[in-house]
Structure 1
Amino acid sequence: MVSNGGCVVSKRVVLLANNIDELGGAQRVVQVLAGGLASRGYDVTIVGVEPLGERTAHVASTYQVERLLETPYPKQAGAELDSLRAGALRKLQAILDAGEPGILVTAQVWAMEHALDCDLVGWRTIGQFHSSIEAAAFGKDLDRILRAYRDVDQFLALTSVDAMRFTQAGLNNASWLPNPLAQWPSEVANPQSRTVTYLGRLSAEKAPMTLMQAWRIICEQGRLGDWNLNIIGSGPHDVQIQAAMTDLPRVQLLAPVADPYVALKETGILAVPSLIEGLPLVLMEALAIGVPAVASDCSAGVRELLDEGRCGLLVNRGDAAALASGLCELAENDELRARLGRQGREHMLAYERERILDQWEQLFESVNR
């Protein structure tokens, strides 16, 4: 414990997530926060409820890593699931009891639902939701969020607009804090790149098939003949993407990458065709490296990142023709791409890791008062 202007702030932080192995945005944010807070002298432990795929290599020398389960929960309810959950809760309680109470940050609602069944006396709790309130309602998570987070010390949305809407929905403890960039790229992307990149999960809410339809429109119009489309990711729409590629020129389907900047440095335009989003980390990373975007107008976070059009083009979501038009407008105008890229990189300075960590420390002081 340390005293800061009369306010006693615990230096122990536990970050709890559904899993800590996925390449998704929430997991990456947990890792960035863990490393950043540890570098500032906090005693940090990150905890995943269950494993997912291959275990991610964490910087264990700077923070502790725990998983509550060795195998995922079974899909069907029953005695096995109940037994595994009881064991997971015992392990979580043991982790919490291994030192003085501090601050518990739950990155996802399912993780919070586990924490609620533990003894949290003495702990300050901060709950997060890493998407928009619209996404919560669409995914049928809103009622769970309202139940799980109603009594936490602070609930964090990603934008002020979403915080206001969560408050209107009944969470009087709602505030907002954006996610940080993992790193600041020292160099900008190749300005000569003629590649449109999609980087993310291949699933319905991300709408990669809308991008494939847009690319078909572009090809049928005979435009962007010197441009390529790279689809980088995996997910349930793999097969559909592969089928759509068979008669489309200049399209590649590539495996997910651990370091997005490897792909983004050779990208000319980022395509974000999503139907729902929060504050997409991949969009932040693209803008930080000077890559402008064409994105669907699907969340307050996307509008905030694109600064209402100063850092990229917004198009109607689910509209392949509008997406095709936006891609052509940006691809065919080198000066516009360069200007939006410069403005995007400048705009992302506000999301640098150290600036966001400053805000986290201010939040810790606030919840400890």
Structure 2
Amino acid sequence: MHISFLIHNAYGIGGTIRTTFNLARTLSERHDVEIVSVLRHRDTPVLDLVPRVRLRHLVDLREERPTYEGADPAHRRAAKVFPAAEGRFGQYSELTDRRIARHLRHIEADVVVGTRPGLNVHIARQTRRGVLRIGQEHLTLDTHSRALKLVLRRAYPRLDAVVTVTEADAAAYRRRLRLPGVRIEAVPNSVPAPAIAPADGSGKWVVAAGRLARAKRYDVLVRAFAEVVERRPDWRLRIYGSGVEKAALRTLIDELGLYNHVFLMGPASPLEPEWAKGSVAAVSSGLESFGMTIVEAMRCGLPVVATDCPHGPREIIDDGVDGRLVPVGDPTAMAGALLELINDDAARQRMGRAALTAAARFDPARVAVRYEALFGDLLAQQRGNRLRGALHRTRGALLSGAYATKDAAVAAVRGARTA
């Protein structure tokens, strides 16, 4: 099977890139896999990709290269196909419209997979006939604007499947978009087993990681940790990541007198060694489309204290078994759950072991099997539809006398069966 992923920019860093690379790497063990990056701004990807997965780009934004296309007049004119209501619209243009359209018209893959709504719209409208069209949703339907939902409602009926990362979001797609004939499937993101020993639960560190953005609500975590420090001043918090909220968080840390207990560490890659130094992970988000950092921490043997926010944490964490779920925006509740684990070494280590076991279900090999089953079912259905169409056309042709002999009609049907 030839599988092609279409991604915004494979040369950056982020959850969609990580999970696409993980899935592509695993699928490439049995299939012909490529990743097509719309944009390219650096020579090599930040994340590792095995050589057997081909990586190519459509528009070159490397200013130091003779192939630089950022100054192309067409790249300065607004996109017409990529939806204006999509969050990345400002980075798309008439040039990206043209390059994506040409790529999809001539694509030789059996399956093409889009990785964000705007690219899924391109795939739905422009992919040549005969190729399976799969649209992935790495955010959630509920977070999209009304204008974007209207675009998706018009374009997505041309897809063969929409794949969400949670069952809750799949239910929202079925209920609110009503896409007859389009398969809607929930398949989680994948996280490989780390190549390091898991945490042993002895370090007095709580670890958090992610963009320093308002949606992550790190202010709640910092306020919660102020309550933790009152009871357990020997514990400390490390927050990994960068973003627009850094200055505000630094001010809050200073106001609460936590400068010796809460540390903004900046981004780290790889992150696994940093998880393994901790004993508890914390997620304070007001919204999670999935929760990659939850799974990453669990795969390193950490129990996770997370807000019970839409959509991901509840589908990942078994409350009280391998982590804790607390109400959104409640520092006292989060502090209480953290202190439960901090003050009970045996429970913390037991839940860490449970997290390590439970997180194995997100291994890329297991997730890839689910994608293979989906693609196989859809390809079989596609072949069946072609055969039924050929039989119908042949029957009509026989009745009209279009075929000179019965053998010619049989040959036409056999050709459709093997196509």
TM interval, short-chain normalised: 0.7 to 0.9
Q: Residue 33 of structure 2 corresponds to which residue in structure 1?
A: 44
- The structural deviation recorded for 1:151 is 2.4
Say if 2:120 and 2:135, in contact at 8 Å, map to a contact too: yes
Q: Residue 345 of structure 1 corresponds to which residue in structure 2?
A: 356
SS at match of 2:200: coil
1:310 aligns with 2:299: no
Say if 1:49 and 1:111, in contact at 8 Å, map to a contact too: no
Q: Residue 191 of structure 2 corresponds to which residue in structure 1?
A: 181
What is the one-letter code of the residue matched to 2:77?
L
1:126 aligns with 2:134: yes
Say if 1:199 and 1:282, in contact at 8 Å, map to a contact too: yes
Cα separation, 2, equivalents of 1:324 and 1:165:
32
- Structure 2, unaligned stretches of length 5 or more? 63-68, 80-91, 381-419
Cα separation, 2, equivalents of 1:329 and 1:140:
44
Give the alignment's TM-score, normalised by structure 1.
Answer: 0.87
What is the one-letter code of the residue matched to 1:225?
P
What is the one-letter code of the residue matched to 1:106?
G
1:231 aligns with 2:239: yes
1:366 aligns with 2:377: yes
Q: Mean Cα displacement is larger for which, 238-247 or 258-267? A: 238-247
Of 165, 172, 175, the match for 1:165: 172
Cα separation, 1, equivalents of 2:147 and 2:291:
20
What is the one-letter code of the residue matched to 1:56?
P
Q: Residue 258 of structure 1 corresponds to which residue in structure 2?
A: 269
Pick closer, same or farther for the CA change 1:216–1:157 going to 2, 3 Å: same
Cα separation, 1, equivalents of 2:113 and 2:6:
6
Q: How does 1:324-335 map to 2 (within 5 A)?
A: 324-335=335-346
Cα separation, 2, equivalents of 1:272 and 1:140:
30
- The structural deviation recorded for 1:241 is 1.7
- The structural deviation recorded for 1:116 is 4.2
Alpha-carbon deviations, 1:281-304, whole Å to 9, x = none?
Answer: 111111122100110000242111
Pick closer, same or farther for the CA change 1:184–1:366 going to 2, 3 Å: farther
- The structural deviation recorded for 1:161 is 2.6
Cα separation, 2, equivalents of 1:314 and 1:39:
37
SS at match of 1:20: coil
What is the one-letter code of the residue matched to 1:38?
S
Q: Residue 18 of structure 1 corresponds to which residue in structure 2?
A: 8
Q: Residue 205 of structure 1 corresponds to which residue in structure 2?
A: 215
Pick closer, same or farther for the CA change 1:187–1:90 going to 2, 3 Å: same
Of 53, 68, 73, the match for 2:58: 68
- The structural deviation recorded for 1:317 is 0.6
Pick closer, same or farther for the CA change 1:171–1:179 going to 2, 3 Å: farther
- Structure 1, unaligned stretches of length 5 or more? 1-10
What is the one-letter code of the residue matched to 2:312?
G
SS at match of 2:45: coil
Cα separation, 1, equivalents of 2:61 and 2:119:
16
What is the one-letter code of the residue matched to 2:156?
Y
- Name the Cα RMSD after superposition: 2.6
Cα separation, 2, equivalents of 1:53 and 1:81:
23
Which structure would you say has the larger RCO, counting Cα contacts within 8 Å and 6 or more residues apart?
1
What is the one-letter code of the residue matched to 1:226?
D
User: What's the % identity of the aligned pairs?
Assistant: 26
Of 74, 77, 81, the match for 1:81: 77
